[in-house]
Amino acid sequence: MVVDSDLDLMLRVREGDSGSFDELLRRYRAPLVNYFYRMVHDQAMAEDLAQEAFLRVYKARHRYRPDARFTTWLYRIATNLALNAIRDSRGRQRQDAVTTGEDGETPIEFVDPKASVEQELIETDRSRMIREAIETLPENQRAAVILHKYQDVDYRQIAGILSISESAVKSLLFRAYETLRTRLEPLVREGKI
């Protein structure tokens, strides 16, 4: 059986074929939720952002031009959404800190508490260490590491996604891994190959 390429599917979505959109959704639903989860570390927000990314793909279907790989386009949309969400939440935290300081009340958080508890339960110590180490990386380094390590995206594609040169991606990844090597030294020392 011949498997349709992402590009073929997207071209058919452009022509109005909803079945092809469902197939793209089936292929990239989990990778995209994972990507967002690793970027923002919030299950509910990760789902919302993944939905928004798919919605943008659908809305932009008529403007889609097959001059780049579908995943480059998809992850570019996703990365922009994720970086904006990180900046927004950082801005909100700053605003909340100011608000809390003014009236002494804790701001209301719109996060599903059940989901957060579940996340905490399934997160092992090793997993938490890695998450915290990656979270401290600068935004671009974090996006590059997650795309490279967890989304299996080629560094040439990462250059297209982040709109930087390939050599800049190599340098970005090297600096990020050097930071992680230092921060995760205990894991690396006991490590498994």
Determine the interface stretch with other proteins among 31-39, 70-78, 89-97, 100-108 (rule: CB under 8 A): 31-39
Query: Does 80 participate in binding other proteins (rule CB under 8 A)?
Result: no
Q: Which of residues 47-66 bind other proteins (CB under 8 A)?
A: 47, 50-51, 54-55, 58-59
Check: CB of residue 39 under 8 Å from CB of residue 141: no
Query: Which DSSP state fits 63?
Result: G
Give the whole-angstrom CA distance, residue 165 versus residue 25.
Answer: 29
142 interacts with other proteins by CB under 8 A: no
Decide if residue 92 touches other proteins (CB under 8 A).
no
- Two tokens at 99? 């608000």
Q: Which member of 98, 108, 110, 124 binds other proteins (CB under 8 A)?
A: 124
Instruction: Round to whole Å and give the CA distance between 51 and 46.
Output: 9
Binder to other proteins among 91, 95, 107, 174 (CB under 8 A)?
A: 174
- The SS3 assignment for 192 reads coil
Among 12, 20, 38, 141, binds other proteins (CB under 8 A): 38
Quick one: which segment of 3-11, 71-79, 97-105, 179-187 binds other proteins (CB under 8 A)?
179-187
Residue tagged 């889609």 (tokens): 64
**What's the gap between Cα 137 and its chain centre?**
14
Give min distance, CB of 85 to other proteins, in A. 15
Vertex 58 angle, CA 55 and 64, to 5°: 130
> Residue 188 interacts with other proteins (CB under 8 A)?
yes
